[in-house]
């Protein structure tokens, strides 16, 4: 009998398995598809790899601004896809090496009881079970995926050629990233979002900035608009990305007595399900659908089941959000609107990258840093960034929130010059 059986080898399950190994637990990892889950195979890694190729092409087109004359630059899309596939395989191989000494089964798992799992025509027994089966794209009834013209984010990363025109339904993180990607590659992009702003939930000022940046690039942005008004025949490809939902089909959850909550696995603050020895982590709990939060949950779940007398709630207000558009966007903690709605008296600190020496050196001056702090205590409540390396800079504010640092603490920190990070000092001067 295993100490722990983990169903799902994505970021939650994989990191949970490594934690189990570290704690000396006898564990087995089970997945019906590829090691690495959505993040490695269909999400974070492939999309960011494609985005980087598009950014390089865009930089080449602007090379004359840096005194470098390049002629004949052209997109080799099959080569771009080949690089993406090779990178995924390399990372997957690295993950396989890290699992040495642990059992890994590639097959569909189904709960038979609270301690039994049926997989590959045999029954696995475990004292504890962790479900980490991730999520899948949400499908709209009027825009059914057909893997030909109407695609989900799963299919669009494997296109054989760059489409001439693209309609993106959904102006959230996925939609905005693909809008920027294909716009750089020369596609005529139309982006439609039903809500009043792009990136619903993100800072309104930042959302307005990215909308302006998109329009400058020739992307047609339609907010507060129903996609039904568009004629799909006018576009080569239609990408539907209106969210994701928990992937929990054919797991035998109901038979095993695992309760669901609005289509996701219901868990308590410690990631325990309605069954005492069955836990769940990652997107299948529909909490915060981000790979780094899934990893955090997976590790937390293993610690909680390994040390039941030292349970620790798997909740954190310090979960950064990163969006790999051009310019990049990142945020953590409270936005300005949420901070005001909480009733707090706040102070807003801003710095525009136009004033940054390093931003000018990079040729990326679009955007700003925005910091929200408590007006009385000076404690940092949140931050939003749109601009160069925003996804890296947000780590500073994530640490500030995690350690309850104040604006004064940041003022007393020396940031190197010339760097983008010294913009934080300028924002709070």
- How many CA atoms, within 13 angstroms, populate the side-chain half-sphere of residue 300? 21
Q: What is the mean pLDDT of each run of 10 residues along the chain (429 residues)?
A: 97 98 96 96 97 96 95 95 98 96 95 96 97 97 96 97 98 98 98 97 96 97 97 98 97 94 96 97 96 96 93 86 98 95 95 98 97 98 98 98 97 97 96
Tell me, what's the pLDDT at 409? 98
**Which structure tokens are listed for 301?**
């779940």
Q: Which residue has the tokens 């050629």?
A: 161
| CB distance 148 to 171 below 8 Å | no
| CB distance 186 to 75 below 8 Å | yes
- Class assignment of domain 2-136+245-310? alpha beta
For 45-68, write each residue's pLDDT tens digit. Answer: 999 999 999 999 999 999 999 999
Whether the CA torsion 61, 185, 388, 85 is positive or negative: it is negative
Tell me, what's the pLDDT at 314? 87
Which residues are the active-site residues?
417
Tell me, what's the pLDDT at 101? 86
Considering the entire predicted model, what is its pTM? 0.95
| CB distance 401 to 318 below 8 Å | yes
Alpha helices in 44-133 (DSSP H): 44-61, 77-98
Q: Which residues of 156-182 are buried (b: 16+ CB within 10 A; e: fewer)?
A: bbebeebbeebbbbbbbbbbbbbbbbb
| CB distance 192 to 222 below 8 Å | yes
Specify burial of residue 306 (Cβ count, 10 A radius: 0-12, 13-18, 19+): middle
**Which structure tokens are listed for 214?**
């998109």
Q: Classify 10 as helix, strand or coil.
A: coil
Please give the Cα distance from 251 to 113 (Å, whole number): 11
Name 118's bridge partners. 110, 123
Specify burial of residue 325 (Cβ count, 10 A radius: 0-12, 13-18, 19+): buried
Quick check: bond before 327 cis, omega within 30? Answer: yes
- The CATH-assigned architecture of domain 321-427 is 2-Layer Sandwich (3.30)
For the chain, the helix, strand and coil percentages under 3-state DSSP, each to the nearest 5: 40, 25, 40
For the chain, the structural domain boundaries read 2-136+245-310, 150-242, 321-427
Tell me, what's the pLDDT at 155? 97
Tell me, what's the pLDDT at 309? 86
Please give the Cα distance from 415 to 207 (Å, whole number): 28
In CATH terms, 150-242 corresponds, of 1.10.150.120, 3.50.50.60, 3.40.50.800, 3.60.21.10, to 3.50.50.60
Please give the Cα distance from 372 to 388 (Å, whole number): 20
Please give the Cα distance from 83 to 344 (Å, whole number): 49
Beta strand pairing call for 237-240 and 150-151: parallel
Residue 189 backbone phi and psi in degrees, to 5: -105, 135
Do 2-136+245-310 and 150-242 come out as alike in CATH topology?
Answer: yes
Specify burial of residue 429 (Cβ count, 10 A radius: 0-12, 13-18, 19+): exposed
Tell me the chain's radius of gyration from C-alpha atoms.
Answer: 23
How far CA 361 is from CA of 2, 353, 388, in Å, comes to 56, 11, 11
Q: Classify 369 as helix, strand or coil.
A: strand
Please give the Cα distance from 349 to 347 (Å, whole number): 7
Tell me, what's the pLDDT at 311? 87
By C-alpha distance, which of 131, 132, 126 is closest to 114? Answer: 126
């Amino acid at each position: 009998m295993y100490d722990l059986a983990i169903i799902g080898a994505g970021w939650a399950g994989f990191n949970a398995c490594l934690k189990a190994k570290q704690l000396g637990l006898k564990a087995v990892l089970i997945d019906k598809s590829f090691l690495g889950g959505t993040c490695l195979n269909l999400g974070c890694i492939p999309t960011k790899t494609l985005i980087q190729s598009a950014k390089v092409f865009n930089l080449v087109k602007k090379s004359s601004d840096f005194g470098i004359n390049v002629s004949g630059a052209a997109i080799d899309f099959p080569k771009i896809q080949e690089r993406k596939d090779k990178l995924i395989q390399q990372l997957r191989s690295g993950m396989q090496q890290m699992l040495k000494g642990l059992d890994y089964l590639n097959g569909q798992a189904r709960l038979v009881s609270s301690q039994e799992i049926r997989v590959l025509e045999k029954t696995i027994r475990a004292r504890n079970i962790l479900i980490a089966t991730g999520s899948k794209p949400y499908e709209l009834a009027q825009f059914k995926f057909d893997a030909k013209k109407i695609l989900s984010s799963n299919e669009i990363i494997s296109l054989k050629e760059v489409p001439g025109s693209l309609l993106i339904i959904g102006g959230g993180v996925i939609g905005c990233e693909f809008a920027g990607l294909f716009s750089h590659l020369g596609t005529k992009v139309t982006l439609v979002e039903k809500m009043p702003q792009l990136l619903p939930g993100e800072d309104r000022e930042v959302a307005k900035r990215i909308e302006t940046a998109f329009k400058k690039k020739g992307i047609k942005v339609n907010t507060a608009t129903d996609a039904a008004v568009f004629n799909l025949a006018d576009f080569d490809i239609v990408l539907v990305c209106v969210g994701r939902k928990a992937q929990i089909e054919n797991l035998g959850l109901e038979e095993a007595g695992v309760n669901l909550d609005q289509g996701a696995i219901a868990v308590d603050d410690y990631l325990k399900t309605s069954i005492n020895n069955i836990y769940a982590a990652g997107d299948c709990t529909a909490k915060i659908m981000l790979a780094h939060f899934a990893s955090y949950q997976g590790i937390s779940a293993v610690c909680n089941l390994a040390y039941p007398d030292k349970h620790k709630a798997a909740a954190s207000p310090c979960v950064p959000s990163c969006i790999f558009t051009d310019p990049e966007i990142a945020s953590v903690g409270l936005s300005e609107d949420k901070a005001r709605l909480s009733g707090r008296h706040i102070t807003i600190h801003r710095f525009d990258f136009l004033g940054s020496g390093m931003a000018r050196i990079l040729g990326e001056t679009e955007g700003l840093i925005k910091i929200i702090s408590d007006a009385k205590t000076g404690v940092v409540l949140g931050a939003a960034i749109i601009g160069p390396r925003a996804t890296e800079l947000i780590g500073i504010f994530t640490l500030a929130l995690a350690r309850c640092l104040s604006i004064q603490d940041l003022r007393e920190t020396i940031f190197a010059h010339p760097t983008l990070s010294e913009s934080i000092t300028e924002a709070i001067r």
